[in-house]
Structure 1
Amino acid sequence: MSDNQNLLAEQRRALILDEVRRRGGARVNELTRKLKVSDMTVRRDLDALARLGVVEKVHGGAVPVTEASTHEPGFEAKSGMELSAKEDIARTAAQLATPGSAIALSGGTTTYALAQQLVEVAGLTVVTNSMRIADVFHSARRAADAAAEHAGNRERPGGAATVVLTGGVRTPSDALVGPVADAAIRSLHFDVLFLGVHGVSAEAGLSTPNLAEAETNRHFIRSARRVVVVADHTKWGKVGLSSFASLAEVDVLVTDAALSRAAREEMADELRELVVAGERADPAP
């Protein structure tokens, strides 16, 4: 029961955040009518959004928080946002990883969700600048080893991922960046890069608030044969301090169904391929 309640609360808060951002603010009584929930429920949702730093509570309602281009939320703050969207994106993006291939995963909460799907793909070589993502694969390996030992199989199970963790300096979002990470990435070549981003826009392309992370992401892109960006709908229109790639450099962008029609049309002019998780692709002519 609690899982359903949490999912409903998450979806409701996403709708509230979209309403606040779209209109520049919203009143509690308006939100209660729109969502058909109690005044107390809306106030609790606004409290939760305020703790995440995405809205500011004012008398009778809330207004959006305008982020500085240098503002970089921490991993924990971001991990509580758009959970359902990230899971949908992760399941869809995981289908783009071929068993036995070499892939790269940048740091981020969406790529972290993706890593949890990719543990089911056999024989991957995974390069990442995220300790959290590396831990996902190491935990899966330990669990597989324990299951094999319990079953009396002394051989290590085949198909588990080989993980390469770059060094570097840790950012607030728990990515390892800087010259050490850059040097490691420069010497490698990936079949597919799965890249999380702070912001996506037609004008600024892909951007981040962190200058060192921007440079590390450039090296990731140069070393990849195919670039897949994983970004939920809230990333559209955000612009960080430093751009590191144009939309034309992205092979596939995987997003969620809440992306607006206007954003989709704007992206279509720049992107090679847009994949919306949970929606069927249009049939080929």
Structure 2
Amino acid sequence: MRAEERQHRILALVRQSGRVEVADAAVEFGVSRETLRRDLSELERRGLVRRTHGAAYPVESAGFETTLARRETQQVAEKRRIAAAAAQLVGEAETVFVDEGYTPELVAMQLPTDRPLTVITASLRTASLVSASESTTVLLAGGRVRARTQATVGSWARDMVARFVIDLAFLGANGVSREHGLTTPDPAVADVKAQAVRSSRRKVLVGVHNKFGASSFCKFAEVSDLDTIVTDAGLSAPEAHRYSLLGPQVLRV
């Protein structure tokens, strides 16, 4: 099998599985681990995968994005720890924006219910979850619903968020890098996220470590726009420090 064909099949496997181990993939494709690493290095150079500690993850792009259902099955323990730590940052905030995505949804599930709180979101699932609390007022942004993420996008959603001055935003991203900032595959999604950044006094990014160093298609914020990043310990301490030099506090949990 030629290297180009093998790399194409490796990419398909990474995107289908959400993660591949170097050792397992080398056996599956009948090549040495060194050859497999070279293939992954080439795919990473082309911005298609992100390598980390003997494994590789897909990079979400204009032509590829994982579904919400898939995200619910990947790195769940890490995402729950991130969400629990992020929820502790609410403090005295009375208005909170919760982004689309599984990790922000987990944050929403841990927001305080013992006092009045207004939650603004574009996520249908988050709106449904937090509306169960009588002390929580939910403002759901209108617009076109994306089937892949079950969230609204478009000018209606963006313009509604623009009308508010929000105490705190919990944001997700498909890619985070010091060079390209916070990115996501869809321009319509990026518009809503960018407006949430502009409308919020405090901004907290929540995301697992393999999002870092990756870049997707549409930029919606700079790392320096953030107040806090909450991620897992898979992001090395030196790398976390490099991000903190751009402004935000970085919490590894």
How many residues align? The count is: 213
Q: 1:180-236 deviations in whole A, cap 9, x for unaligned?
A: 101110111100011111111100110001111111111101110111111111111
The answer as to whether partners of 1:99 and 1:122 remain within 8 angstroms in 2 is no
1:1-285 mapped onto 2 (5 Å cutoff): 51-55=16-20, 58=25, 60-61=27-28, 64=56, 66-67=58-59, 69-70=61-62, 71-99=64-92, 101-120=94-113, 122-141=115-134, 160-171=135-146, 172-277=148-253
Structure 1: which 4+ aligned runs deviate by more than 4 Å? 48-51, 56-59
2:60–2:175: 8 Å Cα contact kept in structure 1?
no
Match of 1:30 in 2: none
Q: Is the 8 A contact 1:119 1:137 kept in 2?
A: no
Question: How has the CA–CA distance of structure 1 residues 68 and 206 changed in structure 2, closer, same or farther, with 3 Å as cutoff?
Answer: closer
Identify the residue that residue 153 of structure 1 maps to in structure 2: none
Q: Measured at CA, do residues 225 and 55 of structure 1 come closer, stay the same or move farther in structure 2, by a change above 3 Å?
A: same
Q: Distance in 1 between matches of 2:16 and 2:181?
A: 29
Q: What is the identity percentage for the equivalent residue pairs of Structure 1 and Structure 2?
A: 31
Q: How far apart, CA to CA, are the structure 2 residues paired with 1:174 and 1:116?
A: 17
Gaps of 5+ in 2: 1-6, 8-12, 30-35, 37-55
Structure 1 residue 262, shift from structure 2 partner:
3.6
What amino acid is aligned across from residue 27 of structure 2 in structure 1?
G
Alpha-carbon distance in 1 for matches of 2:207, 2:219: 16
What is the rounded CA distance, in whole Å, between the counterparts of 1:53 and 1:167 in structure 2? 31
Cα separation, 1, equivalents of 2:213 and 2:93: 36
Give the TM-score, by structure 1 length. Answer: 0.68
TM-score by length of structure 2 reads 0.77
The alignment yields a C-alpha RMSD, in angstroms, of 2.4
Q: Matched residues in 2 for 1:93 and 1:121: separation?
A: 18
Query: Deviations along 1:27-70, whole A, 9 cap, x unmatched?
Result: xxxxxxxxxxxxxxxxxxxxx98753433974614764654621
Could you say what secondary structure the match of 1:118 adopts?
coil
CA distance in 2, matches of 1:59, 1:248: 39
Structure 1 pair 83–192 and aligned structure 2 pair: CA distance change class (3 A): same
- Counterparts of 2:15 and 2:168 in 1: how far apart (Å)? 37
Unaligned runs of 5+ in 1: 1-23, 25-47, 142-159, 278-285
